[in-house]
Amino acid sequence: MKKRGLGSSFGGLISPIATSAAELQEVPVAAINPNPNQPRVAFDEQALAELAASIKEHGVLQPLVVTRLNSHTYQLIAGERRLRAAKLSGLELVPVVIKEVSPQQQLELALIENIQRADLDPIEEARAYAVLEEQFALTQGAIAQRVGKSRATISETLSLLKLPHDVQVLVSAGRLTAGHASTLVPLRNPDKISQTAREIVEQGLSVRKAEQYVAQLQGQQAVGKEIAPVKPRSPHSAQPATPEDEVIVKALEERLEGKRVELIRLGRGGRLVIHFDNEEMLSSLYDLLTK
């Protein structure tokens, strides 16, 4: 008797794309091909093993989304982690929703699923946007509308692909945030970008300090001079920043997708300043703060 892949309580957990119970079927795991447009490259092996153990115990609670290739085979649209975990668990049948979609829609659905689950690292996300832009001729505004983000955020994410490969690796590994990486783009020189990225990581600079350091480097590049990293001083009327303040600033900058933040202590109070360079960044900031 074949192992069943459908959990007993899947009904309330079906993805919004599964609009009708009549569309739900069970198909062999071996009959499902991976999505060639899957934007996610790296998968956490430990998390997959944990999901596989859960699937072995409870079944697949949320159906995969597939499109039919022929009478016997399907191509995955959404649910890569669940498919991999189902294979690890030894499951033979999995619940699926069959949809007829274009290659562009396949990529969009896989991208949106991963973004909603926060599964993509910034470089994977940027590459997916690049495919939508280059292969499917979507504007950055159209991409933003489809994935529910601002155009400024899409533009900033795509700019990460201009960075040297070794810097992109740092971002994918989580050693350098997207906010830090974005500050490096204006340097243009690949060797200088790589060197500066390493310095930012080694010194543990906040996004704000990284931005200031890069601005210094740009100024010195214009006259052909070299400088050493210099930590900016607080205004004379302000109290020195504490380690706790730096932690707060760094957390805020990451939460605000790399926007520069200043925390200035003045007596018992102070000021919290969020910087923006143009109207698009202001619009992006507004979207983040009003979610």
* CA gap 203, 88 in Å, rounded: 41
Find how far residue 271's CA is from the centre of its chain: 30
Cβ neighbours of 112 (radius 10 Å): 17
Q: Where are the domains of the chain?
A: 10-101, 177-232, 234-291
Q: CATH class for domain 10-101?
A: alpha beta
What is the pTM (predicted TM-score) of this model?
Answer: 0.55
- Name residues whose C-beta falls within 8 Å of residue 182's C-beta, 6 or more positions apart in sequence: 156, 159, 160, 258
Whose CA is closest to 59, among 127, 140, 2?
A: 2
Sign of CA dihedral 50, 56, 60, 61: negative
Query: Of residues 23, 45, 57, 80, which has the active-site annotation?
Result: 80
Cβ neighbours of 136 (radius 10 Å): 15
Query: Which pairs with CB-CB distance under 8 Å and at least 24 residues apart come from 185-193?
Result: 185/159, 185/160, 186/214, 186/218, 187/214, 187/217, 187/218, 187/221, 189/221, 190/164, 192/217, 192/221, 193/163, 193/164, 193/167
- For residue 240, what pLDDT is reported? 62
Structure tokens at 124: 């994977």
- For residue 224, what pLDDT is reported? 52
* 80 is an active site residue: yes
**Where are any strands of DSSP class E within 228-274?**
261-266, 269-274
- For residue 73, what pLDDT is reported? 92
Q: What are phi and psi of 146, to 5 degrees?
A: -70, -35
Q: Is the Cβ–Cβ distance between 183 and 210 less than 8 Å?
A: yes
Average predicted confidence (pLDDT) for the chain? 78
- For residue 239, what pLDDT is reported? 60
Q: Tens place of pLDDT for every residue, the chain, 291 residues?
A: 444 443 332 233 234 444 444 468 899 999 998 877 666 666 777 878 888 888 888 888 888 888 888 888 998 888 888 888 899 889 899 999 888 878 777 777 777 766 666 567 889 889 888 888 887 788 888 888 887 788 888 999 999 999 999 999 999 888 999 999 999 998 989 999 999 999 999 999 988 889 888 888 877 655 455 545 545 444 444 566 677 877 888 888 878 877 778 877 776 777 888 877 777 778 778 778 876
